[in-house]
Amino acid sequence: MVLITGASSGIGEACARIFAVDPRTRGLILVARRKERLDKLAQELARKRDFEVRVFELDVRKRRQIESWAKKESELLGKVSVLVNNAGLAAGFAPIQEGKLDDWDATIDTNVKGLLYVTHAVLPHFIEKNEGHIVNLGSVAGYEVYPKGNIYCASKHAVKAITESLRVDLLGTKIRVSSVSPGMVETEFSRVRMGDQRKADAVYAGMTPLTASDIAECIHWCVRRPKHVNIQDMIIYPTDQAKPTLVARK
Ligand SMILES: NC(=O)c1ccc[n+]([C@@H]2O[C@H](COP(=O)([O-])OP(=O)(O)OC[C@H]3O[C@@H](n4cnc5c(N)ncnc54)[C@H](OP(=O)(O)O)[C@@H]3O)[C@@H](O)[C@H]2O)c1
């Protein structure tokens, strides 16, 4: 089964759609806080194909919640062969000297600690089976920092370090670990970050951003390589973007 965190929107939802139509996918486990969205998506996907789609309302920041879910659903998590650690956000967009602690907590707790909690829940099963694939959502923000990106960039640098650490510590097992690191993708990401739709629209004004499906296709491609191939990281920019702050606009 393919477990996708943050499947209620954007890249996570697009991953659910692409894995759903792949006959090699035995089932899906979709996780996010907005359960009604997950339910709707699960119903739609289950109509297309006869396969198992399970939905869980979980907040990846809540360590005890994830721990008790891992215990309760141990049998189900034992069936997971692919974990897409996608749940993430950038809270706030301000110079570090004007940053809010709540925004910093939300960003680090989701992108770093949440990713670790879910990984910790699934990894023992991968080790027991000596197989499995973890795909972490990195970002070009994990390669360089940009003005007002500060804590989000720090969190994605951490994701890059965690991906590399998993690779080195799991070396000798058959477990694969990848990250996919996009530039600008038009999802709900900028609305969450900026707090309103008008400001979010301005982020993509006059340029063509990546779509959530562009990234989901890359994730699916990484996962469906032969088992001896480990894509370590994939950096994907829109043609109109060459660096985090270098964007060609009409
Ligand atoms: N969009 C971009 O330009 C871009 C670029 C590089 C990397 N990324 C990364 O791509 C990933 C997906 O982002 P997106 O662009 O698809 O944004 P999005 O449309 O806002 O989706 C984010 C997803 O994460 C989930 N999520 C957030 N906090 C959560 C929590 N505490 N517990 C469980 N789920 C949580 C959200 O679901 P709920 O709100 O329902 O919980 C939602 O499904 C993130 O890791 C992001 O950093 C995005």
CA pair distance 64, 61, nearest whole angstrom: 9
- Atom index in ligand 1 nearest the CA of residue 138 equals 7
How close is the Cα of 27 to the center of ligand 1, in Å?
Answer: 22
pLDDT, position 54: 98
Q: Is 182 in the pocket of ligand 1 (CB under 6 A)?
A: yes
Q: Which residues are catalytic?
A: 152
CB 75 within 8 A of CB 1: no
- Cβ neighbours, 10 Å, residue 230: 14
Pair 250, 206: CB distance under 8 Å: yes
- Measured distance CA(248)–CA(212) in Å, rounded: 20
- Split into its structural domains, the chain has a count of 1
Please, is 51 exposed, middle or buried when counting C-beta atoms within 10 Å of its C-beta (0-12, 13-18, 19+)? middle
Residue 227 Cα, ligand 1 centroid: separation in angstroms?
28
Amino acid 23: pLDDT:
95
Which ligand 1 atom is the nearest neighbour of the CA of 191?
Answer: 20
Ligand 1 center from residue 103 Cα (angstroms):
15
**156 Cα nearest atom in ligand 1:** 47
Query: What are the Cα distances from residue 44, in Å, to 94, 188, 205?
Result: 39, 21, 32
Mutating to test ligand 1, I would choose from 33, 153, 162, 186 the residue with most ligand atoms within 8 A of its C-beta, which is 33
* pLDDT for residue 60: 98
- Count the neighbouring beta carbons within 10 Å of the beta carbon of residue 218: 22
Report d(CA 61, CA 63) in Å as an integer.
Answer: 6
Question: pLDDT digits over 151-165, tens only?
Answer: 999 999 999 999 999
Q: Are 188 and 11 in contact (CB under 8 A)?
A: no
Nearest atom of ligand 1 to the alpha carbon of 34: 40
Please write the tens of the pLDDT for every residue from 173-203.
Answer: 999 999 999 999 999 999 999 999 999 999 9
Residue minimizing CA distance to atom 46 of ligand 1: 88
| CATH number of the domain enclosing 91 | 3.40.50.720
The finding on whether 10 has its CB within 6 A of some atom of ligand 1 is: yes
The rounded Å distance from CA 239 to ligand 1 centre is 22
Domain that holds residue 79: 2-247
pTM over 0.95: yes
pLDDT digits (tens), the chain, 250 positions: 999 999 999 999 999 999 999 999 999 999 999 999 999 999 999 998 999 999 999 999 999 999 999 999 999 999 999 999 999 999 999 999 999 999 999 999 999 999 999 999 999 999 999 999 999 999 999 999 999 999 999 999 999 999 999 999 999 999 999 999 999 999 999 999 999 999 999 999 999 999 999 999 999 999 999 999 999 999 999 999 999 999 999 9
Report d(CA 122, CA 129) in Å as an integer. Answer: 11
* Dist CA 146 CA 157 (whole Å): 12
CA of 124 to the centre of ligand 1 (A): 25
